[in-house]
Structure 1
Amino acid sequence: MFAHRLQKQQWFFYLLVFTVLLLSVAFTYTDKIEFALKKLFAVRKCKCNRCVSELNESAWFDKRYIPTMYPILTKNSFTLPEASYKWWQRLQSERKPSNYSSIMEELFKLFPGDDKLMDQGPNRCRTCAVIGNSGNLKGSNYGPSIDSNNLVMRMNRAQTTGYEADVGSKTTHHFMYPESAQNLAENVSLVLIPFKVLDIKWLISAFTAGNITRTYIPVMRHIKADKDKVLVYSPHFFKYVYDNWNEHHGRYSSTGMLVIVFALHVCDEVNVYGFGANSLGHWHHYWEKNAGGGAFRKTGVHDGDFEANVTKMLADVGKINLFKGT
């Protein structure tokens, strides 16, 4: 009995010594241990079903993101700063551009000119899917995940028929310019990305007389879409994306980059699909049989590699959820 009590006292002594040593080390390396524990068990702030680590590199994002930037032209907000207007004019130089103010008046006689996407509030939880056209969507089975978002944003010649399992069937906003235009279902918002004043004139024409049939290439004379859902991307916001996010890489931002930044300003959670190459390194559209497609990456108009790095960084700091596909 005595030996057993002595053994228990020894174990207690050893435990006490170990505790003292552990506390000593802890007090000596408090900061390092705290950082390591935070990194291992990072306290996570959850909003809109998306958790963002407190250890994200918010300085990188905050340097580029301007919360007051408004991405859509409205009847109450369409005047462009002089620098933005001049940059926009140079983007696709028109020999004789029409008067911008008169075109805006004509535009908002035909289309609503209001925008409900900026209805921010503490309780809003708007999830958005931005769908690129990469071949990495083939075989991904992302369709149900994409369709579960409140808003689904597609672009240019994106197709869904026959690809629903991988890309979904839902579309709420379709971004295009005259040269990439297509007819839309009645419940889809057409979002025009204007590279020039002529693009806005084409939009008006496509819903009225149909007198514009060519820009620098032949374009659709008329387009089927709900005119009460038409939106026009702001050239001032266009320049902001190029200045702050592209940092002047390429001649101008790609449609994909324009839509991602658009989503950052109108959504609480941004889920990005169909960007970048597939697992074999091919850059092509998911509906193309030619894996060597996507030559746009080599034209010099867009800097695909730089934009891919920006997208990756946005995912790394928890501002978007990036789904890489197959």
Structure 2
Amino acid sequence: MWWKRLQYERRNFNYYKTAVANLFAVFPPVPDLGKPSPGKCRTCAVVGNSVNLRGSGYGSLIDSHDIVIRMNGGPTTGYEKDVGTKTTHRVLYPESAVDLDNSTHLVVFAFKIQDLEWPTKALTTGFYTTSHRKVKPKINGNKDLVMVVNPAFMKYVHEIWMKRRGKYPSTGFMTLILSLHICDEVHVFGFGADSNGNWSHYFEVLKKKNYRTGPHSGTNEYAILKRLASEQTVTLYKGS
């Protein structure tokens, strides 16, 4: 199976089905995205972690959106002027876990069985399985605001949008495509490389020059984003 090759998964489909059953015993099977209001567009800010947010002054603009989706551990404290403070949804993996407040949705793009097991345990008894990096065993969060996206979504994004370029799509790109499904207007911040072509983050000092995007096809993803912006499907804010 495609998903087994991504992380060299050795467990079979029975383990997958058990993990899914356990997941929906704890979390609601249908996410509450809120009902759209007649005559009103649901606006979304998709906030990446690019260094081009630094000095951008986009904070208040980002916070003005109905839905603000952030990724992994991208902080707001200390960066409020550039990235805002509002977070309605945060995309996390076991390896990027952070605490959430009671009004923030946890979003998981599951692509390995461990991703399905993690939210159930991280919000209850604790998750103590090892991964390729240290995993935070427990996080604070609202169990009624958990969205686990079917692994088929990653396959769809990889094959239909990326034409199978890269090993698998980045978290940012999958978040962008998800936003097209749940928002009327999509505004994109903090995507792309810096002026030197490095894919660095606004909250850290780049130590390794010529830093690229690992298994992701960042150049192709950004080209698709720019095309969507030129077609006025999304609005792209390029930052500083």
Range of TM-score over shorter length: over 0.9
* Residue aligning to 1:90: 5
CA distance in 1, matches of 2:209, 2:48: 15
In the TM superposition, what is the alpha-carbon distance from 1:222 to its structure 2 partner? Answer: 0.8
Q: Could you list the runs of 4 or more consecutive aligned residues of structure 1 that deviate by over 6 angstroms after TM superposition?
A: none
Alignment of 1:1-326 (within 5 A): 86-97=1-12, 99-117=15-33, 123-290=39-206, 292=208, 295-297=211-213, 299=214, 301-326=215-240
**1:89 maps to amino acid:** K
In the TM superposition, what is the alpha-carbon distance from 1:223 to its structure 2 partner? Answer: 1.1
The structure-2 alpha-carbon separation of the partners of 1:141 and 1:191, relative to structure 1 and needing over 3 Å to count, comes to same
| Contact persistence 1:284–1:290 (CA under 8 A) | yes
SS of residue matched to 1:90:
helix
CA distance in 1, matches of 2:43, 2:149: 20
User: Whose radius of gyration is greater, 1 or 2?
Assistant: 1
CA distance in 2, matches of 1:91, 1:242: 12
| Contact persistence 1:284–1:293 (CA under 8 A) | no
Structure 1, gaps ≥5 residues long: 1-85
TM-score, structure 2 as length reference: 0.93
In the TM superposition, what is the alpha-carbon distance from 1:293 to its structure 2 partner? Answer: 6.3
**Higher normalized helix content (fraction of residues):** 1
**1:273 maps to amino acid:** F
CA distance in 2, matches of 1:118, 1:106: 25
CA distance in 2, matches of 1:218, 1:281: 29
Percentage of identical aligned residues: 45
Structure 2, gaps ≥5 residues long: none
| Contact persistence 2:32–2:145 (CA under 8 A) | no
Q: Deviations over 1:170-225 (max 9, x none)?
A: 00000011111111111111111222011111221212222433123321111111
Work out which structure has the larger RCO, using CA pairs closer than 8 Å and 6 or more positions apart in sequence.
2
TM-score, structure 1 as length reference: 0.69
Aligned residues, how many?
A: 239
CA distance in 2, matches of 1:287, 1:263: 24
SS of residue matched to 1:94:
coil
| Contact persistence 1:153–1:175 (CA under 8 A) | yes
Q: Deviations over 1:10-66 (max 9, x none)?
A: xxxxxxxxxxxxxxxxxxxxxxxxxxxxxxxxxxxxxxxxxxxxxxxxxxxxxxxxx
SS of residue matched to 2:102:
coil
Note the aligned Cα RMSD (angstroms): 1.9
